[in-house]
Amino acid sequence: MALLRLENVVSNYGSINALKGISCEVNQGEIVTLIGANGAGKTTTMHTITGLKELNGGKIFFEDQDISRWESQKRVKAGIVLSPEGRQVFPDFTVYDNLMMGGYLQKADTNAATLKTVYALFPRLEERASQVAGTLSGGEQQMLAVARALMGKPKLMLLDEPSMGLAPLIVKEIFNLIQRIRDLGTTVLLVEQNARAALKISDRAYVLETGKIVLSGSAQDLLNSEEVQQAYLGM
Amino acid sequence: MLFEQILNGLTIGSTYALVAIGFTMVFGVLELVNFANGSIYMLGGYLTLMVYTTMQGHFILAFILGVVMTGVVGFCLDRFALRRLREKKAPKLTGLITTMGFATVIDNVILLFFGSQTKPYPNLIDFGQFQVGGTTVNTSQIVILAVALLLMGVLSYVTYKTKLGKAMRCTAQNADAARLMGVNVNMVISVTFIISSALAAIAGTLVGMYYQTIDINMGFTIGMKTMASAVLGGVGVLPGAMVGGLLVGLFETLGASYISAGYRDAVAFIILIIIILVKPAGLFGKKKINKV
């Protein structure tokens, strides 16, 4: 059974078609990557899944329930949590308060327990717990954004460009963390420009081009595909 | 004389602060200048008076009912006008003009029902006056200051210590990110409007009783003065609105008694102009750093 299933999803910005009928699915326990150039519709896809962007056609199913018309907060409650593009941590809040906002819909004792797991994954955030998030470095803010999403106890974690603007060493750390998060039982849907690194840790992938899925398959097959190599891996 | 004027200034300033807090909260979560805030303040005063006259003698009950009714009006402004604009992704200016339209509607409905004459307002918080070291202190001043300070304390607690307050502050920082945490942003905005309108109604009633009159023009002036208070303290910052309101009240009372009574209403605008020229972010406002 697919955890998440998109059926012919259409999304417009005014008269511009950002998504022209996308169908894809994410199974329990997988890491699935969406790769594509700028403007292909990757972030729009993430936003329609979380409900930040309304659907103009098609359907979204989560655990076989039609969630197409659900409000964002209901989807978060159901277990779909996005770590957004550009981190978007709450700059005036401390690291700790940011994490607690991640667990906004959870009970206090659940949060206390999750916080331990999160601190084990991100020891640096524990050191900086009382620091204001706006003063963290870019890499730390990205860690915080991922950690904050984990606090929501997601069944499906959506990660939008987690490697954007980060130094290669930190990118490596982030991708390691994504694997560890999956190993802890969270399914991951990843959007990345850094296609090679993303494909290496993924089970399957979809290639998005101007609002349509043009290619899909196992991550290994895509890594070896000539088309992908030329267009996204720079070979 | 000076101490009396300071006390007068702080009393009226504390009511400005209450209205300014509501103004600044709405601005904080929506980045919207609510021009209807002044009219809602006046409406609150009238509603309490109306309920009080219809149910003779139950002032506390009338006060609570008046405040609740005004809160509902504020809720309606958001629910039936502003939320629809947000859903349609209308530009921010449309919302601003909508609040002006809403103010016009309130003003005219009041005009229709109560007429344009100044109405007497019963002062039910006056328990006489007493002397403290040569300064005459009016009990209604003490009541107004106490109510205002209590409300400021409660609001600070709600904003900084409760889950609802944290949700409000998150929405103010980044509404989409707040949504991603599971915050019901529409609910947060509704609550903000209810609080802001209820505060305006409380202030309107207190001022009506203090001056023992109410008229339909009181909304416009207070709207401008609270805007000046909020800008002075730093728009969107809660302590800023509190201090800003107190300072505007203080300055205009001192200006009226030591310069000329005619300058009373001008003082707020002079402060507004100076602040915009000298420290546009306000006393407590943060300079926005645009990160690339």
B183 with A93: Cβ contact below 8 A:
no
**Minimal CA separation from A45 to chain B, in Å:** 15
Number of domains in chain A: 2
Interface test with A, best of B180, B237, B238 (most A CBs within 10 A): B180
CATH number, domain of A169, equals: 3.40.50.300
Query: Which pLDDT tens digit goes with each residue over A11-20?
Result: 999 889 999 9
Identify the contact set of chain B against chain A, taking CB-CB distances under 8 A. Answer: 163, 166-167, 169-170, 173-174, 176-184
Whether residues A160 and A205 fall in one domain = yes
In this complex, the residue of B170, B177, B184 whose CB is nearest that of residue A73 is: B184
User: Which pair of tokens denotes residue A129?
Assistant: 């717990």
Q: Are residues B271 and B251 in contact, defined by beta-carbon separation less than 8 angstroms?
A: yes
Give the three-class secondary structure for A181. helix
Whether residues A159 and A138 fall in one domain = no
Whether residues A168 and A194 fall in one domain = yes
- Closest C-alpha among A138, A128, A161, A124 to residue A89: A138
Interface test with B, best of A90, A105, A144, A150 (most B CBs within 10 A): A90
Whether residues A75 and A109 fall in one domain = no
Residue listed under structure tokens 């779909």: A80
Gap between the Cα atoms of A149 and A114, Å rounded? 11
A76 with B169: Cβ contact below 8 A:
no
Identify the contact set of chain A against chain B, taking CB-CB distances under 8 A. Answer: 50-52, 71-73, 76-77, 81-82, 84, 88-93, 97, 100-102, 104-105, 148-149, 152
**Dihedral pair phi/psi, residue A37, rounded to 5°:** -75, 180
Whether residues A166 and A136 fall in one domain = no
Query: Which pLDDT tens digit goes with each residue over A165-177?
Result: 899 999 999 999 9
Question: DSSP string covering chain B, please?
Answer: -HHHHHHHHHHHHHHHHHHHHHHHHHHHHH----TTHHHHHHHHHHHHHHHHHHTTT-HHHHHHHHHHHHHHHHHHIIIIIIHHHHHTT--HHHHHHHHHHHHHHHHHHHHHHH-SS-EE----S---EEEETTEEEEHHHHHHHHHHHHHHHHHHHHHHHSHHHHHHHHHHH-HHHHHHTT--HHHHHHHHHHHHHHHHHHHHHHHHHHHTEE-TTHHHHHHHHHHHHHHHH-TT-HHHHHHHHHHHHHHHHHHHHHT-GGGHHHHHHHHHHHHHHH-TT-SSPPPPP---
Q: Which residues of B touch A73 (CB under 8 A)?
A: 179, 182-184
Give the three-class secondary structure for A88. coil
Beta-ladder partners of B125:
none
Residue listed under structure tokens 């895509």: A222
Give the three-class secondary structure for A24. strand
User: Would A100 be classed as within a structural domain?
Assistant: yes
Q: Are residues B106 and B42 in contact, defined by beta-carbon separation less than 8 angstroms?
A: yes
Gap between the Cα atoms of B13 and B145, Å rounded? 9
| Domain final residue pick, A149, A170, A185 | A149
Gap between the Cα atoms of B127 and B139, Å rounded? 6
pLDDT value of position A234: 73
Whether residues A71 and A177 fall in one domain = yes
**Minimal CA separation from B97 to chain A, in Å:** 23
pLDDT value of position B190: 97
Q: In what order do the strands lie in the sheet with A187-192?
A: A80-83, A156-160, A187-192, A31-36, A204-209, A212-218
Give the three-class secondary structure for A69. coil
pLDDT value of position B290: 47
In this complex, the residue of B166, B170, B183 whose CB is nearest that of residue A73 is: B183
Gap between the Cα atoms of B141 and B12, Å rounded? 9
User: Would A126 be classed as within a structural domain?
Assistant: yes
pLDDT value of position A235: 65
Q: Return mean pLDDT, chain A.
A: 94
Gap between the Cα atoms of A81 and B181, Å rounded? 8
Nearest CA in chain B to A74: B182
User: Would A105 be classed as within a structural domain?
Assistant: yes
Q: Which domain holds residue A190?
A: 2-79+154-232
pLDDT value of position B202: 98
pLDDT value of position B287: 60
Q: Is the pLDDT of residue A134 over 80?
A: yes
What radius of gyration do chain B's Cα atoms show?
A: 19
Give the three-class secondary structure for A140. helix
Whether residues A144 and A208 fall in one domain = no
Whether residues A51 and A158 fall in one domain = yes
Gap between the Cα atoms of A72 and B179, Å rounded? 6
Question: What distances in angstroms separate CA A188 from CA A70, A73, A172, A231, one per listed residue?
Answer: 21, 19, 17, 24
pTM of the model: 0.92
Give the three-class secondary structure for A108. helix
pLDDT, greater one: B57 or A223: A223
| Domains within chain B, CATH numbers bracketed | 2-278 (1.10.3470)
Q: Are residues B201 and B66 in contact, defined by beta-carbon separation less than 8 angstroms?
A: yes
pLDDT value of position B280: 87
User: Would A87 be classed as within a structural domain?
Assistant: no
The CB density around residue B245, as the number of other CB atoms within 10 Å, is 33
The DSSP bridge pattern shows strands A156-160 and A204-209 to be unpaired
Whether residues A9 and A37 fall in one domain = yes
pLDDT value of position B265: 87
User: Would A84 be classed as within a structural domain?
Assistant: no
**Minimal CA separation from B13 to chain A, in Å:** 29
The CB density around residue B273, as the number of other CB atoms within 10 Å, is 11
pLDDT value of position B292: 41
Give the three-class secondary structure for A187. strand
pLDDT in tens, chain B (292 residues): 789 999 999 999 999 999 999 999 999 999 999 999 999 999 999 999 999 999 887 889 999 999 999 999 999 999 999 999 998 889 989 999 999 999 999 999 999 999 999 999 998 888 888 888 888 899 999 999 999 999 999 999 999 999 999 999 999 999 999 999 999 999 999 999 999 999 999 999 999 999 999 999 999 999 999 999 999 999 888 999 999 999 999 999 999 999 888 888 888 889 889 988 998 888 988 765 444 4
The DSSP bridge pattern shows strands A187-192 and A156-160 to be parallel
The DSSP bridge pattern shows strands A204-209 and A31-36 to be parallel
SS3 of B42-74: the string is HHHHHHHHHHHHHCCCCHHHHHHHHHHHHHHHH
Q: Are residues B34 and B26 in contact, defined by beta-carbon separation less than 8 angstroms?
A: yes
Gap between the Cα atoms of A176 and A174, Å rounded? 5
Q: Is the pLDDT of residue A1 over 80?
A: no
A88 with B177: Cβ contact below 8 A:
yes
In this complex, the residue of B169, B174, B181 whose CB is nearest that of residue A102 is: B181
**Minimal CA separation from A151 to chain B, in Å:** 9
pLDDT value of position A14: 86
pLDDT value of position B212: 95
Give the three-class secondary structure for A115. helix
Exposed / middle / buried, residue B254 (Cβ in 10 Å: 0-12, 13-18, 19+): middle
Nearest CA in chain B to A75: B182
Whether residues A19 and A102 fall in one domain = no
